[in-house]
Amino acid sequence: MKVCGFCKISKPVTEFYMQRTGHYTSYCNPCKNASLRTYYANNKDKYRVYRREWTKANPLHVRLKRHGITVHELSDLLDEQEGKCGICKVEFSDTVEYHIDHDHKTGRIRGLLCERCNVGIGMFGDDPVRLRRAVMFLNGEL
């Protein structure tokens, strides 16, 4: 059990977001969501401009921070995959950008994919059963 810092109600820890540090947030999910909605509603234009400019200036940093990895870990991933997509083996370049693929449930990084492969997996909801059925369909087995 944990007490929300905003509504002061004792709730199970499952009602709080888990941070990347392994600690839970101070506010319960409903209070945190309400707080963020209010903040962004009041600062919508300022936040959009700031976020757009910061992302343009730091595209790599944004990706690394989102996935909680360092530049060295990214470099190791690129070396392991020989600078190619983990699925279709297309070589990453200025025109073929890599995407950091991860398990949406655990956050564990699976590897680097090109945009097409990353979107393809995402469209199947990261579901191996659906992907296997798609392969069977393509092979005329269904």
Q: What is the pLDDT of residues 63-110, one digit of tens each?
A: 777 778 888 888 899 999 999 999 999 998 878 888 889 887 888 889
**Residue at 79 is within a domain:** yes
What is the percent of the chain where pLDDT is above 70? Answer: 93
Biggest alpha carbon–alpha carbon distance for the chain: 59
Confidence of residue 58 (pLDDT cuts 50, 70, 90): low
Confidence of residue 141 (pLDDT cuts 50, 70, 90): very high
Residue 80's pLDDT is what? 93
The reported pTM is 0.56
How many domains are contained in the chain? 2
60: Cβ–Cβ under 8 A, 6 or more apart, which residues?
Answer: 71, 74
**Residue at 53 is within a domain:** no
Work out the number of other CB atoms within 10 angstroms of the CB of residue 60. 9
28 with 73, same domain: the answer is: no
22 with 79, same domain: the answer is: no
Structure-block tokens of residue 141: 């087995």
Q: Which domain holds residue 24?
A: 2-32
83 with 129, same domain: the answer is: yes
